[in-house]
Structure 1
Amino acid sequence: MGILRVMSRRGDDRLTWDEQKAQTGDPEATAAIHEAERIFAQERAKGATAFKVVPGQPIQRIEQFDATAEQIVMVPRVVGG
């Protein structure tokens, strides 16, 4: 299972997908991955930074959506003022 977490003022919004089911052609799993890709691209266009989180390993900054990731965390651009 993969999870996309998008940080916001409300906390974090989460979207999950099952990459293994998507590989077998499950339409719901495929749709969830497409939605996660869409949200990822939308947030990146707004300036968000994305990180791939793997337990026991250093957090890795990513530029493109990775459907095989266990967890992706998106942090919005910080605006000062």
Structure 2
Amino acid sequence: METLGTIISAAHIAAAIALLNGLFTTFGQSKVVSTAIEGIARQPEASDDIRSAMFVGLAMAETSGIYGLLIAIIMLFANPLVEIFVNLL
């Protein structure tokens, strides 16, 4: 049963690393928005193009954060490695 605890603790560490993706996603989104605001301030006539490119970038970054959350939930609640180990016992 000691190895089962090791597998579960490794799954918790993996989930924490996957959740760090959400933190880095936040920093990336703030960089995208700040750069877009600077670009709009420098060229107001291109604001529509800059804004549409910004929203596409934000959607792609948010998708990455959601995938990290999904992986963390799977590792915590539906970990296939734990089921395989329990079936071997």
TM-score higher than 0.5: no
* TM-score, normalised by the number of residues in structure 1: 0.33
Question: Comparing both chains, which one has the higher relative contact order based on Cα–Cα distances under 8 Å and sequence gaps of 6 or more?
Answer: 2
Higher Rg of the two aligned structures = 2
- Point out the structure with the larger helix share: 2
